[in-house]
Structure 1
Amino acid sequence: MIRWMKDLTPRENTTLRACFAGWTLDALDVQLFSFVIPTLIAAWGISTQQVGVLGTVALVTSAIGGWLAGILSDRYGRVKVLQLTVAWYAVFTFLCGFAQNFEQFFIFRALQGIGFGGEWAAGSVLIAEVIRDKYRGRAGGFVQSGWAVGWGIAAILYTVLFSLVSEQQAWRWLFWIGIAPAGLVFFLRRHVDEPEIFTRNKAHQPKQSIFAVFSPTYLSTTIKLSLFTTGCQGATYVYQVWLPTYLRTERGLSVIGTGAFTFALILGAFAGFIIGAYLGDAIGRRKTFFVSTVGAALMLVVYLVLPINNTVMLPSGFFLGLFTYMVFAPLGPYLSEIYPTAMRGTGQGFCYNAGRGVGALFPLLIGLLAAKMPLGKSIAMFGFIAYGCMIIALCMLPETMGKGLPDTPEEGKDDASSAPEPGVTSKV
C-alpha cells in the first residue's frame, strides 16, 4: 500500500509528510468541537439552534479563509500561506479553551475557521504541484487520510480526558492541546520549498485576476465544481458536527460508547481515503466519485433510517465512513487538473470553499429542524440532499485522469470538458 512512496524523490517525500501532518493537525483542532457539544449545552444552557450556529460559523469563515488563501498562494507562494494558516488555526483553537460564554466561543470559532479553510487551499495545491502525475492521486489520498488520523486523535483525547477529568475542565484541555500544530510552522520554514512549476510560472506568466474563475472560459466548470463540493462538504459536516450528539442523546451511549462508535466511523474514513486514492489513479476520478456517492447514500439508509440495533450499527459506521470520505482522496488532484498554475490556488480555493460555505449551512439547518423532529431523521434528510447535489454535478463534469497540470492559461482554455482520455502524456 505504501510501496509507491519509496519511489518519491526527497523533495516529494518531505512535502508529502509536511502536508499530511498539516491536514492531520487541522482535523484534530476542528473535530474537537463535535465532542464537546453535549458539555457546552449543559454548562451554558445553550440550545441546539445555538450549537448549529457554532458549528456553521467556523465553516462559513473557513470558506472565506480558503478562497483568500488560494488567492494569496497564487500571489506569494503555497508554502508561505500554508505556514500562516497553520499558525492561525492553532492559536484560535487554543483560545477557544478560555471562552466563558457562547458569545466568546462564537468569536474564537469564527476566527479559527479562517485558518482551517486556508490550510487545505494552500496545502492541496502544494502537494499537487510537487508530486509527479503518476502518484498525484495516491499522494492526494494519503494526505487526505490525515483527516481521519487527526479525527481519531481527537476521539482518543476526548475519551481519555473526559474519563479522567471533570467535563467542566476536560473540554478546555481539549482546546488548549490544539496549540500543538503551531510547531509545524518551523518544519515548513526549514524543509519545504515552493513548487518549481509555481516559481517558473510566476517569473514568466502575468498574474491572473482573482475573478478569472468566473470568466466565460471557466464559469460553467466553476459552477459545476462548486455544486459538487457543496454535496461533498455538506454530507461530511452533518456527521462531524452532529453524530457524537446523536449517539449520546438518541442512542443513549456513554462517553466511552460514543468514542467507540465515532472511532468506527473514523477507521472507515481512513480506509476510504486510501482506497479512494488508488481507485482515482486506477479507474479515474469521476468513477471513484460515483462509487463513493452511491455507497454513502446506501449506508446512510442503513445507519440512520433502518431500525437497527447498536450491535449492527457499530460495523455499519465503518462502511458509512469509508464511502463518505472516499470522495476526498482524488478531489484535490481533480481540482488541480482543471485550472492553470497562475490561478490554480484561486480556482481550487474558490470551488472547494464555495462548497464548504454552502455545505456549512447544513449543520445549522439540522439544528433548527431537530427542534421539530428527531435528530437522526434531520441528519438523514440533509445527507440525501448532499448526495443529490453530487450526483447532479457528476453527470456534467469530465474526467481529468492523465491530463496533468495545465501550466498556462492557454493550456487551460480548453474547458475541463475537453480533458483527454486516461493515458495521455502529462504536460508537467
Structure 2
Amino acid sequence: MAPYFLRNLLPKREKNDHARPLLTVLGELTFVQWALFFSGWLAWTCDAIDFFSVSLSVTHLQAQFNRSTHEITTAITMTLLFRSFGAVFFGVLSDRFGRKWPLVGNLLLICSLEIGVSFVQTFQQFLALRSVFGIGMGGIWGLAAATALENLPVEARGLASGFLQEGYAVGYLVAAVNNLFNVPEVKQGWRALFWVSAGLSMSAATIRALLPESEVFLRTKAMEVEKGHSTTQKTKVFLKETGEMLKKHWLLCIYAVLLMTGFNFLSHGSQDLYPTYLTVSKGISTDDATIATIIGNCGAIVGGVFAGWLSQYIGRRLTMLIHVMLIGLFIPLWILPSTFSGLAAGAFCIQFGVQGAWGVIPIQLAEMSPPAFRATFPGVAYQLGNMISSASAQIEATAGEHLRTTVIKDGVAKNVPDYATVQGILIGVVAAFVVVVTIVGPENHGSHFEKAKTAFEEGAADDEPIDDSARNDKLISTMATL
C-alpha cells in the first residue's frame, strides 16, 4: 500500500459530498462578499505593481544612479528582507483588531512610500526607501488573503484563491504596460511607474475603508460586548493564545516557511531578472522584452485561475504538484529559443506552471494555518519565505558574471552573462525541492476556518470549530440596536 502522504493527496470523499455547485454558490454571493473579495484582490495587485516597477526599471535605474545590475538588484533584495517585519506587525494587528483598518493603514503607508520613491535623487535614498517599503509591502498579502477568502463560502474558495493570487500577475501586467506606453512619453521616465502605483494604492485604501468589517469579527465583537470584556482583557487573551499556538504548531510553522521559500524562489527566480535576461542574454529590444513579459503574465493569470478551480475538486497539493512538474517540462522552451516568438511562448508556458502552482497557495495556507491566526500565520510564512529567497535576483546576477555566452548583435559578437542557463538551473533545482516539500506536507481541504474562534477569544489556539448559531443571533440583535 502507498504511504499515507501519497494516499492523502486526493481530498476525502466526504469533503465534497455536501458541496453545492460552483455556479449556484457564485450566484448567491452578496454585493458585500464580492466587494470584500475585490478589495483584497486589489490590495495584492497594488503590491505587485510596485514591486515589479523596480524589476522593469533595472536598466533605467542603472543609468540614473550609475550602478551595476548587481547593485540595483540589492534594492529588490532589501525590500524582500524587510517584508517579514511588516507581515508580523500588520498580521498581528489584523488578527487582534480586525481586517479593515489595518489593511487601510497598510495601503496608505505604501502609497506614501511610493510617492517618496518617485522623488529620490541618490541611490542611497532609493535603497533606504525601498528597504522601509518592504515593511509596508510585507503586511499586504496576509491581510488581503484573509479579507478576500474568509467571507466566501467554502465551495468558492479554490477558484477565489486562484483569482486572488493572480492579482500578482495582473500587477506585473499593469506595471509592464505602464512601462511600455507611459514611461517613454514622460520626461520623468521611470518615476512615472511609482506615481501610478501610489494612485492605485490610495484607491484600494479608499475602497476598503468604505466597506464593512469582516463578518467574523463583527460577530465576535458582539459576543465580547455581551461578556463585558475590555480591550485590555482581550489583548491579554490574544497574547496568551498566540503563545499557545506557537507551542502547539511550531513544526507546522517551520514547514510553511520551507514551502514558501521554495515557492518564492520559483516566482522571483523566473521573474525578477527576466526582462534583463531577454535584453542582455538574448539581445532583444527593451520593448519586445516588455511585451514578452506581458505575454508571460497572461499565462500566469490563466494558470493561476485554472489551478485554483481545479484544486477544489482534486485537492490542493495534487494541483500544486501537477503545475510544478509542468515547470520542469517547460524549462527548455523558456531558455533555448533565440527568437521573440519562441521566448514569448516559453514565458507563457513557464508562468502558467509557476503561477498555476501559486494560485493554490492562498487557500492552502489559509486552510492549513491555525484558523484564529489566518492573517498572521500565512502572511509571516509567506514573507519569511520571501526573505530567504530575497537574494534570488542577486544570485542570478552574480552567477551570470561568471557563466557567460556569446551573442551576435548587429553583426558583432558580444560576450554577455548567460542568464538562460543560470535561470534554467535555478528553477529546475527549486522545482524539485518544491515537489518533495509539497508531497510530505499537510492538507486541510475544505476547512471551515471561518467558524473558528478569533485570536482574542479564550481557547483560540485549540483550533476547534464552534457553534455559530449563538454568534449569529447576537450579531443580529447587536446590529438591530445600532
Structure 2 residue 106 is matched with structure 1 residue 61:
no
The one of 415, 421, 445 equivalent to 1:401 is: 445
The one of 397, 403, 415 equivalent to 1:367 is: 397
The one of 266, 271, 281 equivalent to 1:235 is: 266
* Contact 1:89/1:116 (8 A) holds in 2: yes
* Contact 2:40/2:143 (8 A) holds in 1: no
The one of 75, 78, 95 equivalent to 2:99 is: 78
Deviations 1:288-332 (A, max 9, x none): 11012111222223212x355433221121111111011222211
Deviations 1:142-188 (A, max 9, x none): 2222222221111111001244345xx21011112221111222221
Closer/same/farther in 2, CA of residues 195 and 353 from structure 1, 3 Å limit = farther
Alignment of 1:247-326 (within 5 A): 247-304=278-335, 306=336, 309-326=339-356
Closer/same/farther in 2, CA of residues 213 and 99 from structure 1, 3 Å limit = farther
**1:336 partner letter:** A
Query: Offset of 1:367 from its aligned partner?
Result: 2.4
Provide the C-alpha distance between the structure 2 equivalents of 1:32 and 1:20, rounded to a whole number of angstroms.
18
Provide the C-alpha distance between the structure 1 equivalents of 2:342 and 2:204, rounded to a whole number of angstroms.
40
**1:253 partner letter:** I
Alignment of 1:347-362 (within 5 A): 347-362=377-392
Query: Offset of 1:339 from its aligned partner?
Result: 2.8
Closer/same/farther in 2, CA of residues 86 and 52 from structure 1, 3 Å limit = same
The one of 112, 119, 123 equivalent to 1:91 is: 112
Provide the C-alpha distance between the structure 2 equivalents of 1:320 and 1:7, rounded to a whole number of angstroms.
35
Provide the C-alpha distance between the structure 1 equivalents of 2:218 and 2:429, rounded to a whole number of angstroms.
38
**1:170 partner letter:** G
Provide the C-alpha distance between the structure 2 equivalents of 1:347 and 1:213, rounded to a whole number of angstroms.
10
Deviations 1:228-268 (A, max 9, x none): 11111111112332001111111112122011110111100
Alignment of 1:188-227 (within 5 A): 188-196=208-216, 199-200=219-220, 203=224, 206-209=237-240, 210-212=242-244, 214-215=246-247, 217-227=248-258
Query: Offset of 1:403 from its aligned partner?
Result: 2.7
Provide the C-alpha distance between the structure 2 equivalents of 1:107 and 1:361, rounded to a whole number of angstroms.
17
* Contact 1:276/1:330 (8 A) holds in 2: yes
* Contact 2:37/2:149 (8 A) holds in 1: no
* Contact 1:52/1:366 (8 A) holds in 2: no
Provide the C-alpha distance between the structure 2 equivalents of 1:267 and 1:138, rounded to a whole number of angstroms.
17
Provide the C-alpha distance between the structure 1 equivalents of 2:294 and 2:244, rounded to a whole number of angstroms.
42
Provide the C-alpha distance between the structure 1 equivalents of 2:426 and 2:165, rounded to a whole number of angstroms.
23
Closer/same/farther in 2, CA of residues 214 and 364 from structure 1, 3 Å limit = farther
Provide the C-alpha distance between the structure 1 equivalents of 2:460 and 2:211, rounded to a whole number of angstroms.
31
Closer/same/farther in 2, CA of residues 199 and 384 from structure 1, 3 Å limit = farther
* Contact 1:56/1:363 (8 A) holds in 2: yes
Alignment of 1:27-66 (within 5 A): 27-66=48-87
Provide the C-alpha distance between the structure 2 equivalents of 1:297 and 1:61, rounded to a whole number of angstroms.
31
Map of 1:6 onto structure 2 = 27
TM-score (normalised: structure 2) = 0.80
Provide the C-alpha distance between the structure 2 equivalents of 1:214 and 1:391, rounded to a whole number of angstroms.
26
Provide the C-alpha distance between the structure 2 equivalents of 1:46 and 1:145, rounded to a whole number of angstroms.
32
Structure 2 residue 369 is matched with structure 1 residue 339:
yes
* Contact 2:110/2:133 (8 A) holds in 1: yes
Deviations 1:179-238 (A, max 9, x none): 1111222221122322325752883883255455542x3122211121111111111112
Map of 1:419 onto structure 2 = none
Q: Which runs of 5+ in 1 are unaligned?
A: 416-427
Query: Offset of 1:91 from its aligned partner?
Result: 1.7
Query: Offset of 1:366 from its aligned partner?
Result: 1.9
Deviations 1:398-428 (A, max 9, x none): 222123216149697589xxxxxxxxxxxx9
* Contact 2:330/2:349 (8 A) holds in 1: yes
Structure 2 residue 415 is matched with structure 1 residue 379:
no
Provide the C-alpha distance between the structure 1 equivalents of 2:260 and 2:218, rounded to a whole number of angstroms.
25
State which drifts further: 308-317 or 252-261.
Answer: 308-317
Closer/same/farther in 2, CA of residues 366 and 165 from structure 1, 3 Å limit = same
Map of 2:189 onto structure 1 = 170
Closer/same/farther in 2, CA of residues 212 and 367 from structure 1, 3 Å limit = farther
Provide the C-alpha distance between the structure 1 equivalents of 2:463 and 2:36, rounded to a whole number of angstroms.
30
* Contact 1:280/1:329 (8 A) holds in 2: no
Deviations 1:67-100 (A, max 9, x none): 2221121111111111111111122122111121
Provide the C-alpha distance between the structure 2 equivalents of 1:308 and 1:376, rounded to a whole number of angstroms.
10
CA RMSD of aligned residues (A): 2.5
Alignment of 1:82-161 (within 5 A): 82-161=103-182
Sequence identity, in percent?
Answer: 23
Deviations 1:7-55 (A, max 9, x none): 3122211101111221222211221111110111123221222122111
| Partner SS, residue 150 of structure 2 | helix
Aligned residues: 412
Provide the C-alpha distance between the structure 1 equivalents of 2:92 and 2:184, rounded to a whole number of angstroms.
44
* Contact 1:59/1:113 (8 A) holds in 2: yes
Query: Offset of 1:378 from its aligned partner?
Result: 2.4
* Contact 2:296/2:349 (8 A) holds in 1: yes
**2:422 partner letter:** S
Provide the C-alpha distance between the structure 2 equivalents of 1:255 and 1:307, rounded to a whole number of angstroms.
17
Provide the C-alpha distance between the structure 2 equivalents of 1:249 and 1:136, rounded to a whole number of angstroms.
41
The one of 183, 194, 197 equivalent to 2:203 is: 183
**1:188 partner letter:** R
Closer/same/farther in 2, CA of residues 412 and 404 from structure 1, 3 Å limit = farther
| Partner SS, residue 448 of structure 2 | coil
Provide the C-alpha distance between the structure 2 equivalents of 1:147 and 1:259, rounded to a whole number of angstroms.
16
Provide the C-alpha distance between the structure 2 equivalents of 1:307 and 1:258, rounded to a whole number of angstroms.
14
Closer/same/farther in 2, CA of residues 289 and 197 from structure 1, 3 Å limit = farther
